[in-house]
Amino acid sequence: MEDKLKQLSQAVLAGIQGGDRNAGSSNGAVNSFVQGLFGDVLAKPAAGVGDYAGEVANQQAKEAEAARQAQIKALQDKMDPSKYSVRRKDDGGFDFFDPDGKPIDISEYAKVTGVRPADILSKSENPFDMQYVNDYNNTHGVVEAIQNGDQATLQTYLKDNKGINPKSTAQDIMQDLIKKYPHIYGHTNYGTSFANSNNRPLFGVNGGGVSSGGGGGGWSPS
């Protein structure tokens, strides 16, 4: 860029030194363009024009470096869990935000922070979030009983929750949880999960259901 500016400067100087205020061009449009860009230096001596070209190049280099540093900072923020935030909502649930303040869903927040969704929502006061945490904890208990061959514990779950297939594998149980709460695992938005699963838990709570409630568990784009 600096070389091109110097070439242009030389062309302008050639016009000045030859007494041609139109920068040595026979094209009126080109002359007007050059005059508009460099009108303040056309009457300057050669050193002045060269200095001006250098200043422009230096300024452009500074701007390019500033833009590069801003991009690096943005990428660093994206990878920094401390730059993400959580805010409690009026319904007792949570909203999640990236470093730019853009709303994100709980699945993205969990991936960035490395915290399990059940732990994130453990302090939620939203009924749907509480339903998920209860189902997660019970699913974990069933999976652990299957993996450990703990038939006594497994039979307790089967007795209290008739919907569980006694032939289910640990993977089957986990898939049931994911299907019940797909927004937690990044497969759909919160509203769809709520509409399909609210007040219909995988596991009963003290023999009863979980009362219905408003939104919670974080925003997710439609």
Q: Which of 34, 56, 78 is the last residue of a domain?
A: 78
One domain for residues 189 and 127: yes
Specify if 120 maps to a domain.
yes
In the chain, % of residues over pLDDT 70: 68
Q: What is the DSSP letter of 169?
A: -
One domain for residues 120 and 149: yes
**Letter for the amino acid at 191?**
G
Q: How many domains does the chain have?
A: 2
One domain for residues 96 and 187: yes
Contact 16, 4 (CB under 8 A): no
Domain that holds residue 68: 2-78
One domain for residues 94 and 190: yes
User: Coil, strand or helix: which one is 30?
Assistant: helix
**What does pTM read for this prediction?**
0.63
One domain for residues 54 and 111: no
pLDDT in tens, 65-116: 888 887 787 777 777 899 999 999 999 999 999 999 999 999 999 999 999 9
Contact 201, 137 (CB under 8 A): no
One domain for residues 50 and 143: no
One domain for residues 123 and 191: yes
Specify if 151 maps to a domain.
yes
One domain for residues 68 and 144: no
One domain for residues 47 and 133: no
Residue 52 binned pLDDT confidence (cut-offs 50, 70, 90)? confident
Specify if 215 maps to a domain.
no
Q: CA-CA distance, 212 to 199, in Å (whole number)?
A: 6
Residue 111's CB is within 10 A of a number of other CB atoms, namely 13
Q: Which of 16, 49, 78 is the last residue of a domain?
A: 78
Find the mean pLDDT for residues 192-204.
90
